[in-house]
Amino acid sequence: MNVVSIMAHQDDEMQCLGTLLRCRARGDRLAFVTLTDGSRGFVQQPEIDPSEAARIRQTEMDELASRLDAHYINLREPDEFLYDTPPVRLALIEAIRQTRADLIFTHFHEDYNLDHTTVCAVVRHCAMQACLPVLPTSSPPLEEHPAIFMVAPHGPVLFPASHFVDISQVEDEKVALMACHRSQEEAMRQAVGAGFDRLCRRLDGYWGQAVGCDYAEAFVPQRGRGAIKPYNVLP
């Protein structure tokens, strides 16, 4: 199975990375897509040139992806100013086709960040269009609609989690992989007073407690056309 994380920013895969590791262990191929260039991720350092910031984010995400033998596609839209435009839709349709996505993880439709909710909306639309020949791109259309699950949002949003993956065995590996985002480790500490280790273990521990294991990731299926399967796709 081809499993694709489609997120706004480099590090947003945090909410599904443990599940991706479980997928990889069962033989799935992984891919990462980010829609923005991450150039506004240095939240307390406005003096950093956006192109240099984008280069750093790309390098960090490249490292994480390469450690998992995963393909990484960066659509490089301007961070914090992602808009749903015809070029964005076509680029995302092509990314979904190119990765031959069977299972997609993306943002929830309610979230603290507008880039996140925009990604959620365009994934719903573009995953459907990826199956239809009406919008041609470099790669051929998908034969089947991918399954889509939305990840838990950050911030004070009610998330009606219905699907859970036990990631207790891979939590340490997940935290170690997130450390590839060195620049964001520092930015997170400045912005929310916690690095990836604490952020991951706090949320994954919360969901784990809800379902009776040490660490878990929680999901909601996206109600797009063909996106809910009558069989189990999660590990």
Site residues for Zn ion per CB under 5 A: 8-9, 12
Distance in Å, CB of 140 to Zn ion, minimum: 31
Q: In what order do the strands lie in the sheet with 29-36?
A: 71-77, 29-36, 2-7, 103-106, 147-151, 216-221, 163-166
Specify the residue, 8 or 175, whose C-beta has the smaller distance to Zn ion.
Answer: 8
Which residue sits closest to Zn ion, CB atoms considered? 9
Question: Over the range 59-97, which residues count as b (16 or more CB within 10 Å of their CB) and which as e?
Answer: ebbeebbeebebbbbbbbbebbebeeeeebeebbbbbbb
* CA-closest candidate to residue 203, choices 235, 175, 162, 169: 175
Distance in Å, CB of 116 to Zn ion, minimum: 6
Distance in Å, CB of 43 to Zn ion, minimum: 11
For residue 204, what are its two tokens? 């994954």
Alpha carbons 135 and 170: distance in angstroms, whole number: 39
Burial degree of 24 (CB within 10 A; 0-12, 13-18, 19+): middle
Distance in Å, CB of 8 to Zn ion, minimum: 5
Distance in Å, CB of 100 to Zn ion, minimum: 25
* CA-closest candidate to residue 233, choices 128, 163, 174, 161: 163
Specify the residue, 110 or 214, whose C-beta has the smaller distance to Zn ion.
Answer: 110
Alpha carbons 235 and 221: distance in angstroms, whole number: 14
> What are the φ and ψ backbone dihedral angles of 193, each rounded to 5 degrees?
75, 20
Specify the residue, 9 or 181, whose C-beta has the smaller distance to Zn ion.
Answer: 9
Distance in Å, CB of 36 to Zn ion, minimum: 8
Distance in Å, CB of 139 to Zn ion, minimum: 26
The residue count of the chain comes to: 235
